[in-house]
Amino acid sequence: MRETIKKISYYIIIFIYASFILITGYELFQIIQTNGTPKQSEHFLRFVQAGFGLIALQFPTVLRKRTSILLPQRISFLYAIFLYMALLLGSIGGFYNTITDWDKIQHALSAALVGVLGFSVIANLQQNGNEELKLTPLLSSLFSFCLATTIGVFWEFYEFFADTYLGQNAQKFMTADGTLLVGQAALVDTMGDLIVNCTAAAIVATLGYISLKKDIGWLEGYLIVISQDETKERKNNTKKKRRTK
């Protein structure tokens, strides 16, 4: 069963990579074809979004090669799914405008990933022998929840400034035809994002608490690991290079 899931995950990752490559190439071709027309700016924006997604997909590999940080396959897989849903389907495919609450799915997934990151930070600090950070399962869960919700709040700050200074409608304060919403209607999108973010963070924090309290091991396959062996090896290599100089 696990081997089957690994194969399916592998093919999905290949599909995501291929999709980003094809869309990037297609939009570059359209930029050339629509040179000097109003459509060119639209294709340029899509080209930048697809190109950014293609570069962002390399992030787990770069971390593994350049640092001692190892992302589990499950986290790398969810990260790729998030990029595909947010950029190719959401922004380029128009799902944010055509599918109700598509952005809420992104908020939930991102909050869950950041929540796992919170548990990873605590786990690595404690494994490194830091006696001052021997947190209880409750405090570890609270840290995970607070980190995820704080990142969600900062994202809403970004959307506010994007709307205010860049003329965007990230917080959905107006309708598609430009009609400004008034009162509570103008707050629905922002408050909905925050509620979804807190709910997803709370779910991850609760599952993490149960895993740590009962020693079930649910979190182990999702925790980001800092390899001590690789850290030592990199330090030794750095020292050798300095000596040769």
pTM of the predicted structure, to 2 decimals: 0.80
Whether 201 maps to a domain, the answer reads yes
Spatial CB neighbours of 192, under 8 Å, sequence gap ≥ 6: 101, 104
Give the pLDDT confidence score for residue 128 in this predicted structure. Answer: 63
Spatial CB neighbours of 218, under 8 Å, sequence gap ≥ 6: 207, 208, 210, 211
Whether 27 maps to a domain, the answer reads no
Residue 148 lies in domain = 100-244
Whether 178 maps to a domain, the answer reads yes
Mean pLDDT, contiguous 10-residue spans, the chain (245 residues): 83 95 96 89 91 93 84 90 93 86 92 93 74 79 96 93 83 83 88 96 95 84 72 51 53
CA dihedral 222, 227, 230, 232 (to 10 degrees): 160
Work out how many domains the chain is built from and give that number. 1
Whether 1 maps to a domain, the answer reads no
Asked if 205 contacts 142 with a C-beta cutoff of 8 angstroms, the reply is: yes
Structure letter (DSSP) for residue 219: S
